Structure 1
Amino acid sequence: MTGVSGAAGRAAARGLLGRLSETRPLTPEWEAAFHGVPRHAFLPDTVWLGDELTPCDRAREPETWLRAAYADAPVVTQVNDGEEPGPEGERWPSSSASAPGVVFRMLDMLGLEGGERVVEVGTGTGWNTGLLAHRLGSSLVTSVEVDEGLAARARGALASVGVEPRGVTGDGSVVVTDGVDRLLATCAVRRVPERWLSAVAPGGVVLTPWESPWLCFGLLRLTVRGDGSADGRFHPHAAFMLMRGQRTDLRIFRDVVRDGHVPEESATRLAPWNVTGEHWAARFAVGLQLPDVWCVWQHDPGVPGVRSRLWVATTDATSWAAVDDAGAAAGPAGSAFTVWEHGSRRLWREVESAHRWWREAGGPGPGDFGMTVTPDGRHTAWLGRPGRRVPRAA
């Protein structure tokens, strides 16, 4: 398992290295780690591919498995937290090997020069851990994993390539090493745990994927200050699974909308797809302003004249809104869309306010925003520079 066997495997590894070099050439140190810690050694014999999460077994489909191992794409390595699918047979991804291009970009963002003490939150397959241990030495790397099965498998994979970083099984939001220079998370957070800031020495870096309930997108790179606070900018083009302790399992018709609800009807000229879909910049800005609001599309809702409906709700399931898309019947640009709202908050009005602020600010992208986090856990988003606060929409 410690090397790529056969001509096909060696060619696959060379191909991946070539693709990575076309967009972001690896430094000599990371290229050495790429060869010394081969990605295939960290993937389980069964991975899940495509939107349908189709199982791919290494023994039965070796060529497909190898292509997945050396594609510059994420690979799902666990479904359903390692449990068997329920009665309906639904699979959902619970752990993955991140796309190599994103992995090496994040490692670069740590700004390592050698000698830094690093804690990683989210061991997963162990590949990131192995790359760090190869670069810095095993004694300087600690990795924390909440899932005992994943942690055990990662230990075996790391031993197979000759590195032995410290592994800890537990909740990465609280179980981390003190006095480290870098903290790297491989799971997204909606709030930066206070423990992370106290664990990192002043001048050190916290790098974590970011998620709001509205959009999972981006990386947040924070520098820890002498007073225990931290601030830094967001960086685009990354999406990770949410830290298990911050998950919310919400469904519109199971948890939010009730038969007895009598919504208030109104209209909007803000097209619902302007804050969803491929509108990444608008979605990111809405998520920063409405950190407790999420949305989901319902296609063919069974309502005459309505092609699809955007549902919006609070994470405490106390307020909701729905915006109807009538498709071809919606009329020309600027036509109104029907809005239904229930609860103490008028959520679509809040979305309109958030979108209006973003538009009047010039339509900034994720990289234009930053965040300040204080030792007591207060999060303040800002645009351009600390002090120019992003408002909470209302």
Structure 2
Amino acid sequence: MLREKGALTSDWMSAYRAVPRDAFVPDRLWPGTAGGNRQGEVIDRNTDPARWWGKVYSDVPLTTQWDDGAHTGTDKGRSPTSSNSMPKMVFSMLDTLCVERGNRVLEVGTGTGWNAALLAYRLGPDNVVTVEVDPAVAEEARRRLAAVGLTPVTVVGDGAQGHVKGAPYDRIIATCGISRVPYAWVEQAVEGAVIVAPWGPPYGGQAVARLTVGEGGVAMGPFVMSSAFMRLRDQRDTFPPTDAFPGAANRPSTAAQRTTPLSPDGMGDWHHMFTLGVQVPDMFCRVERGEDGAYRLWLFDMGCTSWATGDYEPGRTEFEVAEYGPRHLWSEAEAVMSWWREQGEPRFERYGLTVTPSGQTVWLDSPDNPVPVRVS
């Protein structure tokens, strides 16, 4: 199945056969879906082994921890915080990493340990350093790695800091999402090193960046595929509650109202959210579901000064908009989507990222063509 999808290349076939996924999956798991982050009901190997084996050898992500371990029940917790990633994504990212014999690799986010085991089998355990922030998750991964006879260097710590004692690295791979590339990763990489990491703005939309470290401590490269990873704990987003915004509780009477041809549905795809988040970095959204497919999309600014709503109803071509505050957030979104159409409706593969000691820049088609950032 993975070979048919083009994710499992011959370079990784021997590692895939030698390092079984089931050795890195706990007895209790919550399977997700190949197209998103929805987790199903818990499956316990002890009470339903057939379903457990079926999900382990399906191309789906498997949530293994909720709420940083605080949630221990069998129902779903509030937030998934550790998982065994879907195999297609695992091997697509490993293929993107382009490891070579003798490479030294830093992995950020040990999780269950499967990705680290695959790297250790391919390159030798002494050439792989894996960092996990959660001590319990790290200990379980260490136990599972030892059980299959693979013992990479396992570190409990903040992956945003890398692991300077093991540097320099030829390859760095993150199995967690980021909105800022920690510059420590670049500093700990040799010139010519490759960094592969899922990157996305707080608004939403995420893609895997493949950066090459060049002269002067600059790393740059394209986005190569969409992704949906849990955030690096150091960079988790915290958004103000809706009731922190003046006037939001009394919508729509407090807001300026109009109609727009820009459908909330027309700005909800992953690459749309990515484009909106890059250009308006302090904007976030929430969705309020209605009946019969209708919903309300809320836009907010992080400063708690402004908000906007757009009401989606199936079959309509004009949509009700309300805007409140000194910023006109729906107008800002309209400007971004207009820019996106003018550029030929780019998807992830046309975007790229440059990281320097002073910051990072998203670009379109070329590093000389930065994506505009709209600061109000």
Q: Does TM-score exceed 0.5, indicating one fold?
A: yes
Find the partner of 1:299 among 289, 295, 298: 289
Aligned 1:1-394 pairs, distance under 5 A: 19-24=1-6, 26-50=8-32, 51=38, 53-84=40-71, 90-177=77-164, 178-250=167-239, 252-256=241-245, 259=249, 262-276=254-268, 279-300=269-290, 307-327=294-314, 330=316, 333=317, 335=318, 337-376=319-358, 378-393=359-374
Q: Identity of counterpart residues, as a percentage?
A: 40
Question: In the TM superposition, what is the alpha-carbon distance from 1:326 to its structure 2 partner?
Answer: 4.5
> Cα deviations across residues 263-315 of structure 1 (Å, max 9, x unaligned)?
33333221111001xx34333322221222222211229xxxx9421101123
**Contact 2:160-2:182 within 8 A present in 1 as well:** yes
2-structure distance, mates of 1:26, 1:49: 21
Q: Against the structure 1 CA distance between its residues 272 and 155, is the aligned structure 2 distance closer, same or farther, given a 3 Å change threshold?
A: same
Gaps of 5+ in 2: 33-37
**Greater alpha carbon shift after TM alignment, 184-193 vs 232-241:** 232-241
The one-letter code matched in structure 2 to 1:359 is: R
> What's the secondary structure of 2:339's corresponding residue?
helix
**Contact 1:180-1:201 within 8 A present in 2 as well:** yes
2-structure distance, mates of 1:356, 1:346: 15
**Contact 1:142-1:165 within 8 A present in 2 as well:** yes
Gaps of 5+ in 1: 1-18
2-structure distance, mates of 1:185, 1:33: 19
Question: In the TM superposition, what is the alpha-carbon distance from 1:363 to its structure 2 partner?
Answer: 0.6
**Contact 1:351-1:393 within 8 A present in 2 as well:** no
- Aligned positions, number: 364
| Structure 2 length-normalised TM | 0.90
The one-letter code matched in structure 2 to 1:372 is: T
> Cα deviations across residues 19-72 of structure 1 (Å, max 9, x unaligned)?
011122644441111122111001111101354541111111111111111111
> What's the secondary structure of 2:160's corresponding residue?
coil
Q: Against the structure 1 CA distance between its residues 224 and 218, is the aligned structure 2 distance closer, same or farther, given a 3 Å change threshold?
A: same
> Cα deviations across residues 310-353 of structure 1 (Å, max 9, x unaligned)?
1011234443211123555x4xx3x3x22222333221111111
The one-letter code matched in structure 2 to 1:126 is: G
**Contact 1:48-1:55 within 8 A present in 2 as well:** yes
**Contact 1:353-1:393 within 8 A present in 2 as well:** no
The one-letter code matched in structure 2 to 1:229 is: V
> What's the secondary structure of 1:129's corresponding residue?
helix
**Contact 2:199-2:206 within 8 A present in 1 as well:** yes
**Greater alpha carbon shift after TM alignment, 281-290 vs 154-163:** 281-290
1-structure distance, mates of 2:41, 2:242: 28
The one-letter code matched in structure 2 to 1:275 is: M
2-structure distance, mates of 1:89, 1:111: 36
Q: Against the structure 1 CA distance between its residues 59 and 52, is the aligned structure 2 distance closer, same or farther, given a 3 Å change threshold?
A: same
Q: Against the structure 1 CA distance between its residues 176 and 320, is the aligned structure 2 distance closer, same or farther, given a 3 Å change threshold?
A: farther
CA RMSD, aligned part only? Answer: 2.3
**Greater alpha carbon shift after TM alignment, 362-371 vs 288-297:** 288-297
**Contact 2:31-2:60 within 8 A present in 1 as well:** no
2-structure distance, mates of 1:42, 1:315: 39
> What's the secondary structure of 1:156's corresponding residue?
helix
| Structure 1 length-normalised TM | 0.86
